Structure 1
Amino acid sequence: MNACIIVIGDEILSGRTLDTNSNFIAKQLDLIGVSVTQISTISDNPTSIVNKLKESFSSDNDFIITTGGLGPTQDDKTKQTLAEFLSDQLVLNQQALDFITRLYCTNGRTMNDLTRKQAWVPSSSEVIINRYGTAPILWTKKSNKILINLPGVPYETQAMFKEFIIPKIKKEFNLPHIIRRSVIVVDYPESELAITLTDWENNLPDYISLSYLPSGARIELRLSAKGFNKTILEEEIAHEIKKLSFILDKKLISTTTTNIVEIIADFFSKNQLTLSIAESITGGNISRKITSLAGSSVYYKGGITAYCTQIKENILKIPESFINTHKVVSEEVAKKMAINCAKLFNSDIALSTTGVAGPGSDEFDDSVGLAYIGLYFKGITYVKKYNYPYLTRDEMITWITNKALELIYFELIKNK
């Protein structure tokens, strides 16, 4: 089954308000096997609403879902426009009025005429009481389609959709299963990976689709199978992942999780290795990623954010003369940081980062976007150089963080 989502609101179009509802709704529908074919954002103008509804009802979507425009103010025009579109009229729904009245009495407030107006709904619509607000949700059957009108307030919309709309859809319709599995591929440019997988992808069953989801230097390959026999779907997905494992070999680093930190944690734990980190450009971001996973204390000894040169000198014991000779953003300093970090924490493996995130250069006039990652392991230190002058500061920090985590994984596999 298919659905489209119509987001109604001038405040969304102006950029002043971020639409989070459509993302949430799409995810919830996806979990029950309903495919979202389109997400549109339109103004509160009645003509725009009617035109979009006409377009949606002429499509092959089974569900047409709107958010916004159900409130009591003058700019909330969805209900009246909806009634006109349905050739219907607004009538007082006593159940909705009773709920709003109780809500106001409980809060010690006096209900005004605008609030009372929210209990007026198209006569052909089924009312679903909004447990989190005053605007009732409307469920209308028309031309073998279901029109669902939701308020725009995110905490109301999202809670009601998950708790009431999703169960109602599941109860009233025979929905397919959707089985998803992801694998993580590294060190493989997306275009080259696509070429490598051409024959395999062309021979996938019709009910299995493939998505390429790049994230930094990693690519998530997501396989989605849709059908009514869950067992067959799971077996077919597993069979295709075995084929992928054979084709991609060691460049496929996980078939069970998409989280690189989980992959690293599993390897450290199984091999009884310990890790420490000395960060400069990444400012503690790698340590934050590592410790975000419960149980990281089993292998992670600790880290230091050696952001300024003095900390590199005083804590990591890198001589000032050495830094002045090679510059703080250099292969040599990254190497020293990793070696001395391993000594400081007495860890088997140590990681270091140094670089210039921008927007300006550092005290040594190094170019923005230059970075080095050092990795100490078993008496050997590896250093990788990176240069991304086109990235913003935040993007640079995120990118180097991801590169550092990937470097840990690759060198561990190499020395396994």
Structure 2
Amino acid sequence: MKATIVTIGDEILIGQIVDSNSSFIAKALDKIGIATHEMLSISDDKDHIISTFQKLQNNVDVVIVTGGLGPTKDDITKKTFCEYFNDTLVEHPEVLEHVTQMIEGIYKRPITQLNIDQALVPSKAKILFNKMGTAPGMWMEYENTVFISLPGVPYEMKYLIENEVISALIQKFERPFIVHQTLMTYGRGESMIAEQIEAWENNLPAFIKLAYLPSPGRVRLRLTARGTNESELKEAIKKQVFTLTPLIYDIIVGFEESDTIEVVLGRKLKEKGFTIATAESCTGGKIGQMIASVAGSSNYFKGSLVTYETQSKINVLGVLKATIENHSVVSEQVAREMAVNVKRIMQSDFAVATTGNAGPLKGESEEDLGVVFIAVASPNSVFVERFEFGQPREKVIDRAVNKAFELVYKEI
């Protein structure tokens, strides 16, 4: 089964907002065995919408449209639906009652004609009741394709997907099963992993596909199996993971999409009863922010000191002025003192510190652009490693953050 997701809105095409709706919808469809064939972003233009529908008609099973539903005159999806399906708009009494309750009861303001018009829907449409907003979703079928129109407001779209659309699609279609298993790896590049597991990959059954999903410092290996017997697919995936794991056991940090390095690190700290603190310069607090983003991190995260300017390293962290003068602010010695001192200040078991030249200017150090020193202090020792991450600035910061997580995770 194939689906296409269409987002309508000039604000997406000009880069004013980022389309997060398509990602959410695709994940929801994947869980019920519907593969997303493509994602399209198109303009708020009637002819463009109609031509897109014509191209998709009978080429995919489901078209899910978000955007263009609202009280303003530039929201044209309903009218375009009517033209494409040769239909007319009619007032839906339940939708009108809901709109009235929201405007007058919740927002405490008089209802306007624009609000009332929210209750106008194509007469042939099945209404997807939107409790989160005033614009209802619409389900229309034409020949071999189901067209579903949803509001573009993310929380309204999510409500309708979770409470109306998915259950309706399950009832409508017989679907294959899609089973995924993701292995999270850290500290080794995509090409090196591919070379290491080449023989295993070549022997995968035809119904199981492997995808490499790299990002700075980490690679997700996603196994996907498609078929009609869910239990057999799960067993086949389990068997392949069992065979793969010994080949790359030293870089696997988790087995689910949610097992990011900060989640895994937090789990490990919690299991062992350890705490951690960070002292950051070039990474600007990003390591601490990622650690703190995990629910329950207060059990093991003592805090972070972001000492970006040189003097703050002396005044706040207690780095010796002589150390900076003798070795420069970007140096092994400064990184070491940062880690040791924040561990002492925060009274943590572990600490990680970063100092470097992220660029684009060198600043107060003679080290090359892209050079970063990362120090890890443990209950018994402290070590520092020097890295050359190149440019641009964003790449340096991201790679430094990921490398810091890798080093402290291995040390723990």
> How does the TM-score come out when normalised to structure 2?
0.87
Gaps of 5+ in 2: none
2:193 pairs with 1:193: yes
Instruction: State the alpha-carbon separation in 1 of the partners of residues 144 and 272 from structure 2.
Output: 59
Residue 353 of structure 1: aligned partner: 354
Percentage of pairs with the same residue: 37
Q: Secondary structure at the match of 2:248?
A: helix
Tell me how far 1:4 sits from its aligned partner. Answer: 0.6
Q: Please report how far the alpha carbon of residue 39 of structure 1 lies from its aligned counterpart in structure 2 after TM superposition.
A: 0.9
**Does the CA-based 8 Å contact 1:182-1:258 persist in structure 2?**
no
Residue 82 of structure 2 corresponds to 83
Amino acid paired to 2:153: V
More off after superposition, 103-112 vs 244-253: 103-112
Q: Determine if contact 2:328/2:364 at 8 Å carries over to the other structure.
A: no
Q: Kindly tell me: are residues 263 and 123 of structure 1, through their superposed partners in 2, closer, same or farther at Cα, counting changes over 3 Å? A: closer
Structure 1 range deviating more: 91-100 or 364-373: 91-100
Q: State the alpha-carbon separation in 2 of the partners of residues 118 and 9 from structure 1.
A: 18
User: Residue type of the partner of 1:403?
Assistant: K
Map Cα deviations across residues 152-186 of structure 1 (whole Å, 9 max, x no partner): 33332222222222222223333444332221223
User: What does 1:202-281 align with in structure 2 at a 5 Å threshold?
Assistant: 202-255=202-255, 258-271=259-272, 273-281=274-282
Residue of structure 1 equivalent to 2:54: 54
Q: Deviation per CA, 1:117-163: give whole Å up to 9, x if none.
A: 44333332222333233333221111122111122333322222222
Structure 1 segments unaligned to the other structure (5+ residues): none
Report the more deviating stretch, 104-113 or 80-89. Answer: 104-113
Secondary structure of the 1:250 match is coil
Q: TM-score, normalised by structure 1?
A: 0.86
Structure 2 counterpart of 1:282? 283
Q: In 1, Cα distance between the equivalents of 2:9 and 2:36?
A: 20
The more displaced of 174-183 and 142-151 is 174-183
Instruction: Kindly indicate whether the alpha-carbon contact (under 8 Å) linking 1:277 and 1:338 is maintained by their aligned counterparts in 2.
Output: yes
**Contact 2:179–2:224 under 8 Å retained in 1:** yes
| Aligned-CA RMSD value | 2.9
The corresponding residue for 1:132 is: 132
SS at 2:204 equivalent: coil
2:253–2:259 CA contact under 8 A, matched in 1: no
The alignment covers a number of residue pairs equal to 410
Contact 2:211 2:222 survives alignment (8 Å) = yes
In the TM superposition, residue 329 of structure 1 has moved relative to its aligned partner by: 0.2
Q: Cα deviations across residues 249-272 of structure 1 (Å, max 9, x unaligned)?
A: 313333366222333344445555
Query: What CA distance in whole angstroms lies between the structure 2 residues aligned with 1:136 and 1:345?
Result: 52
CA contact (8 A) 1:241 1:255 kept: no
Q: Structure 1 328/86 Cα, relative in aligned 2: closer, same or farther at 3 Å?
A: same
AA partner of residue 154 (structure 1): P
Does the 8 Å CA contact 2:187/2:403 hold for their aligned counterparts? no
Q: How far does residue 199 in structure 1 lie from its aligned partner after superposition?
A: 3.0
